[in-house]
Chain A
Amino acid sequence: MLSFAFKSMATRKAKLAMTALSVVIAASVALLAYNISTQVSEGIVNTAAKYDIIIGPSGSATQLAMNTMFFTDKPLGTIPYSVIDDLNRSGQVNAAIPFSMGDSYNAAPIVGTDPALLSDKALLKGEMFESPLEAVVGYDVAKAYKLNPGDQIISSHGLSHDGAAHADHPLTVVGVLRRTDTAYDNAVFTPVSTIWELHDHHDEDHDEAHDEDHDEDHEEHEEHHHAEAGEICAVLVRSKSLSDYAALMSYYGDSTDYLAINPNTVLREVMDNVDLSRKIVYILCAVILVMNLFVVSVIALLNMYDSRREIALMRLIGVSMGKINRLYLIQNALTGLCAMALSLLCAHLCLWGIRGFVSRMGIVLNAARVYPLEWAILLCVFALSILPTAVLTRRMARKDSLEA
């Protein structure tokens, strides 16, 4: 029966290919929409959960949160490194981690910090940075530029790759992070002192340029915030207790020089503000899903209607409805299974294709991640591929062979 099913399918290659293609397009759009929206939401929540306070210069809370959590947007400005010493001396913190950003390597942000920022991240190769001008690169950066421990990278001033290069002060890659599926995969980490050293050097060049020519590019550089020696962009804090948290929030929050935020709260507010658009996205996803499932079932039903003559003919020569039913179930199940596999592959290839674009926004999509609901969607697609067979053959079985 299986070989006859294959032969029967071979006679309808083009039609089956078109059917499978329609199903693949419909199902993969649904899978992609669901997967992206879920991974983006999860990425935001997971990243924000690690620190309870972020202290930076006064300004936008959202900008501070997005900058320190996802390495997106520009830093608000700088605060003295001494804030960290103050926090450590206070005895109210488990960790106070410096954060500085302002340079980049091929558009991947370079984060000046200390190894504690990466304490929960594992190294794929090499070791953690210790000295100035040493760097640990994120998984995607290492993969994209084929970086290994011992390689040297030239950073650019500013967060776009077209800034002036710090060619005289290359960073030496000493380690590569394991994949984290977060913004960390698309960043370069180095000691804060590296940033200070690069900018001391850059400012010397800058002063010379200033004397020679005061052009427009130069003015842009003036607007760019970068940490001078003894300055950082923010401090990421894990407070010791709830009371310490409240005291620190109160102390730094009340200061006019500083901004203290809870990243969870800020990002939740951001999410709440975009809640309507998120709901719209979910509704659109649901509509796409329902429409696609409808399309799949209509295609499957039309295919079966096309096969009515063949079914009637088999009945006329005496092939039982049970055998005919099984024959078409096998054919439609094979088509459905192929469509399922291709839909999953297609959706996750698209995910892989757009992950580079999304990672630049600080959210790293895992193309290999499959959610249970995706399997459920695929099972629906499979069920809809075979359901019309059962319905139509059952209906035809009730008629005389000649009527059928």
Chain B
Amino acid sequence: MIKIEDLFVRFSDGSGIRYRDMCFDTGRSYALLGASGVGKSTLLNLISGVLTPAEGRVRVDGEAVSALPQRERDLFRIRRVGYIFQDFKLLEDMTVQDNLNLLRLEGVDTSDMDALLDRLGILRLKKRRVNRLSGGEKQRVAIARALIKKPAIILADEPTGNLNYDTGVEVVKTLLLNAGEGTLIAVTHDDRLAPMFDERMDMNAVAEWVPGGEARQHA
């Protein structure tokens, strides 16, 4: 279970986002909906430990992940979180298999790579450099990198953004299938895909943008 408690994040310009307390249950999937800039991606960054909150906590199974030292948060992310970034965050000059094998540096078992790539329809691209792939192919590589470690938490930031509807449906199905007993939280703008998730969360209702001056007062 992931619990968000009195969470506030501040940006370099002084502004920030305050989140209402919320909870993501294990074994369920969530679609985060809302306008651009409302704080959907920021929430995923906070949950994964990529960003450190100015106030409040993110608890995962009772542990305050956001309060952990940097190294511990890195370990949490590599061991328990499969994060699909909106802009993929792939090593462009390396091959698909190298991008996945990068996780072996931290002891992740990648022996199921071929089966996973096959399921995602990109096995033939295994030895191709990422900078030679289309946007949709890159997205599937990013998904493969997130899923190969069989994470307990899957965070997906617009995982279908570069795909057509039919492929998007297939990708969401794959994510839901791989989430299994874990938690899937996906940001999406596609209202047609949102019903595939167990729950839909309107971020406009749970996140409040705080302008620079107020954020400083708040702090």
List A residues at the B interface (Cβ < 8 Å): 1, 4, 7-8, 11-12, 310, 313-323, 327, 397, 400-402
Contact = CB atoms under 8 A, between A and B. Distances in A.
Nearest to A1: B105
Main secondary structure of the interface of B (DSSP, over half): helix
Contacts of B89: 313, 316-317
Contact of B74 (A8, A315, A327): A315
Contacts of A402: 45, 50-51
Contacts of B51: 400-402
Nearest to A323: B105
Contact of B71 (A4, A11, A321): A321
B40 interface: no
A327 B101 CA distance: 14
B103 A317 contact: yes
Given A320-B75, A400-B52, 15 more contacts: A4-B104, A4-B105, A8-B94, A11-B94, A313-B90, A313-B91, A317-B89, A317-B102, A318-B77, A318-B81, A319-B105, A327-B105, A397-B70, A401-B74, A402-B45
A402 B49 CA distance: 10
Contacts of B70: 321, 397, 400
A319 B106 contact: yes
Contacts of A319: 74, 78, 102-103, 105-106
B61 interface: no
A4 B74 contact: no
Given A1-B105, A402-B51, A320 B71 contact: yes
B21 interface: no
B83 interface: yes
Interface string B20-49: 000000000000000000000000010001
A1 B45 CA distance: 27
Given A4-B105, A310-B91, A402-B51, A318 B78 contact: yes
Interface string B70-88: 1100111111010101000
Given A327-B105, A400-B50, A400-B51, A317 B77 contact: yes
Contacts of A400: 50-52, 70
